[in-house]
């Protein structure tokens, strides 16, 4: 869910102590490709669910965790710090692309689900328009304790439209026992994460479905505290580390594919901030300039992004200033996209502490 400035960003989100269930049934193909001067675009996806909490991470250079040390070029890197008895989500992130996806083939048979293990990534494709491939099944053996389930999904047509993926635990007859995760976002790709309690050692059968269009997904079930690649598992964006007070300049292309989103990562304290931005079209025209700035914490979940600024004005050079509040310190992901203006644009932004 995205909210405009002025707002409060908190890394203390809602924790699900049992298998999570989602909120409203906001399915539907939320595209809305409106262009033209001065018009912000993008269809809004509806529905909300239970979100996971956020702990602490470290950024840049070398960081250590409970079971190891890793180093990344642009890396937020940590080792595992697992505690299955901890009811608080342990947010432990590593660099995108550091965990390979298993070559296990998804199963369409409830009687013979594909086998996966905790800490492993698997992939599949579901298509609600084709009965033979509208549902896939996985099984995973888990000890008692708290686990994250995390999924990245994007439409097969790679459109910036509604993504609606569900992961449900089902019994041997296919009846739903718990909705563990739901994605319902109008994005070019989306990530969601939930924390759930597995009350006893057992084998879970997981059912994967898409409600709107054919989707490609990658997902895994992770012990609470295991290091998880973020903000995505693969097709990794270029992420620039920045800091408060630093001016960043970049080119923003129209959103045709996931790589057109511009990403930054920065540490924010518990205080008030101001973002100052200027933008222009590369063709120099006195027409609409559009840039949407979102921030997220944790594993980079799409639903937990907050909109800190929207530049959507006509002019040769436009600017914007917005305030936002951080209620808990930590690392934040900042993404910028242009969903509709068919012209490359140049932007500069600076985030500073607000002067009260």
Strand 161-170, strand 176-187: pairing: antiparallel
**pLDDT exceeds cutoff 50 at 14:** no
Please say whether the beta carbons of 68 and 79 come within 8 A.
yes
Mean pLDDT of 272-295: 96
How far apart CA 278 and CA 355 sit, in angstroms, is 20
Which pair of tokens denotes residue 215? 């989707």
Overall fold of domain 239-353 = Jelly Rolls (2.60.120)
User: pTM of the predicted model, to two decimals?
Assistant: 0.78
State how far the Cα of 349 lies from the Cα of 278, in Å rounded to an integer: 7
104-114 confidence digits (pLDDT tens): 999 999 999 99
Where do the structural domains in the chain lie, given as residue ranges? 12-230, 239-353
Looking at per-residue confidence, does 14 or 180 come out higher? 180
Cα 94 to chain centroid, rounded: 14
Q: State yes or no: pLDDT of 8 exceeds 60.
A: no
Average pLDDT, the chain: 83
SS (H, E, C) the chain: CCCCCCCEECCCCCCCCCCCCECCCCCCCCCCCCCCCCCCCCCCCCCCECCCCCCCCCCCCEEEECCEEEECCCCCCCCCCCCCCCCCCCCCEEECCCCCECCCCCECCCCCCEEECCCCEEEEEECCCCHHHCEEEEEEEECCEEEEEEEEEEECCCCCEEEEEEEEEECCCCCEEEEEEEEEEEECCEEEEEEEEECCCEEEEEEEEECCCCEEEEEEEEECCCCEEECCCCCCCCEEECCCCCEEEEEECECCCHHHCEEEEEEECCCEEEEEEEEEECCCCCEEEEEEEEEECCCCCCCCCEEEEEEEEEECCEEEEEEEEECCCEEEEEEEEECCCCCCEEEEEEEEECCC
Report pLDDT for 62: 32
For residue 18, pLDDT over 70 is answered with no
Instruction: Work out the end-to-end distance of the chain between its first and last CA atoms, rounded to an integer number of angstroms.
Output: 28
Q: Choose which CATH entry (3.30.70.1400, 3.40.50.720, 2.60.120.380, 2.40.50.1070) describes domain 12-230.
A: 2.60.120.380
At 67, the pLDDT band (50, 70, 90 cuts) reads: very low
Neighbours of 294 (CB within 10 A): 19
List pLDDT tens digits, range 122-152.
999 999 999 999 999 999 999 999 999 999 9
* pLDDT band at 172; cut points 50, 70, 90: very high
pLDDT digits (tens, 9 = 90+) for 303-350: 888 899 999 999 999 999 999 998 888 889 999 999 988 899 999 999
Residue with tokens 């048979």: 109
Asked whether the beta carbons of 74 and 59 are under 8 A apart, the reply is no
What per-residue confidence (pLDDT) applies to 196? 98
Residue 276 has pLDDT above 80, yes or no: yes
- pLDDT of 304: 82
The pLDDT assigned to 327 comes to 83
Q: Which of 210, 22, 190 is nearest to 124 (CA)?
A: 210
pLDDT band at 66 (very low <50, low <70, confident <90, very high): very low
Distance CA 350, CA 266 (A): 12
Distant-in-sequence, close-in-space partners of 111: CB < 8 Å, separation ≥ 6: none
Return the pLDDT at 41: 35
Contact predicate 116/221, CB 8 Å: yes
Contacts of 350 (CB under 8 A, 6+ apart): 245, 246, 247, 248, 275, 276
Query: Is it true that 12-230 and 239-353 share their CATH fold?
Result: yes
Give percent above pLDDT 70 in the chain: 78
């Amino acid at each position: 869910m995205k909210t405009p400035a002025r707002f409060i960003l908190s890394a203390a989100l809602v924790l699900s102590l049992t298998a999570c269930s989602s909120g409203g049934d906001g399915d539907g193909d939320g595209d809305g490709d409106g262009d033209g001067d001065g018009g912000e675009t993008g269809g809004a996806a509806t529905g909300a669910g239970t979100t996971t909490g956020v702990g602490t991470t470290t950024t840049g250079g070398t960081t250590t965790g409970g079971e190891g040390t890793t180093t990344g070029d642009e890396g937020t890197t940590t080792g595992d710090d697992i505690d299955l008895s901890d009811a608080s989500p342990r947010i432990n992130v590593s660099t995108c692309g550091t965990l390979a996806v298993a070559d296990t083939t998804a199963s369409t048979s409830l009687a013979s689900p594909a086998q996966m293990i905790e800490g492993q990534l698997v992939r599949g494709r579901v298509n609600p328009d084709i009965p033979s491939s509208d549902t896939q099944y996985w099984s995973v053996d888990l000890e008692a304790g708290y686990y994250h389930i995390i999924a990245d999904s994007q439409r097969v047509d790679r459109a910036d439209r509604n993504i609606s993926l569900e992961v449900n635990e089902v019994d041997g007859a296919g009846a739903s026992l718990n909705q563990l995760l739901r994605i319902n976002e109008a994005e070019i790709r989306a990530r969601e994460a939930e924390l759930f309690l597995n009350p006893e050692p057992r084998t879970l059968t997981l059912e994967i479905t898409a409600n709107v269009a054919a989707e490609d997904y990658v997902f895994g079930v992770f012990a609470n505290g295991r290091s998880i690649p973020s903000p995505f598992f693969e097709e990794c964006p270029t992420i620039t580390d920045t800091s408060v007070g630093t001016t960043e300049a970049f080119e923003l292309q129209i959103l045709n594919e996931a790589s057109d989103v511009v990403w930054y990562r920065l540490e924010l304290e518990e205080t008030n901030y101001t973002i100052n931005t200027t933008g222009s079209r590369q063709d120099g025209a006195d027409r609409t300039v559009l840039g949407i700035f979102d921030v997220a914490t944790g594993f980079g979940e799409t639903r937990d992004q907050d909109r800190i600024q929207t530049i959507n004005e006509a002019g040769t050079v436009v600017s914007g200033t917005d305030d936002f509040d951080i209620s808990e310190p930590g690392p934040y992901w900042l993404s910028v996209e242009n969903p509709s203006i068919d012209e490359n644009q140049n932007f500069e932004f600076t985030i500073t502490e607000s002067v009260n």
